[in-house]
Amino acid sequence: DNRPVCYNLARDITKIDKDIELFMPPRTMLGSLKKSADIVGLYSWLGKLPEVDAIILSMDTIAYGGLIPSRRCPETLTEIQSRVEDFKEILKTKKAKIYAVSSIMRISNNNCNEEEKEYWNKYGKYIFEYSYSKHKYAINLGLETPVRNLIPPDILNDYKRTRARNFNINKMYLKWEQEGFFDTLIFSKDDCAEYGYNVLEAEQLEKMGGQVITGADEIPLSLLAKAMNTKMSVAPVFLEPDSKNLISNYEDISIEKSVKHQLEFAGVDIASKEDADVILIVNNFKNHQGEIVMKKETEQFDSAFTPPDKPYMIADVRNANGADNKFVSELFKNFRYDGFYGYSAWNTSANSLGSLICCAKIKFGAKNYNEKAFKKIQMVRFLDDWAYQANIRQEIKEPCKIADKMKPYEEKVSELLNLPIKNEYFYPWERLFEIEVSDELF
Report the distance separating Cα 406 and Cα 215, nearest Å: 30
pLDDT digits (tens, 9 = 90+) for 51-60: 999 999 999 9
Confidence (pLDDT) at 442: 44
Q: Band of the pLDDT at 294, cuts 50, 70, 90?
A: confident
What DSSP string runs through 371-430? HHHHHHHHHHHIIIIIIIITTGGGT-SS----HHHHHHHHHHHHHHHT-----EEE-TTS
pLDDT digits (tens, 9 = 90+) for 250-289: 888 999 999 999 999 999 999 999 999 999 999 999 999 9
Task: Select from 386, 391, 383, 396 the least CA-distant residue to 424.
Answer: 383
pLDDT digits (tens, 9 = 90+) for 65-112: 999 999 999 999 999 999 999 999 999 999 899 999 999 999 988 899
Name the pTM for this structure. 0.93
- Give the H/E segment covering residue 270: strand 269-270
Please say whether the beta carbons of 433 and 7 come within 8 A. Answer: no
Q: What is the mean pLDDT of the chain?
A: 94
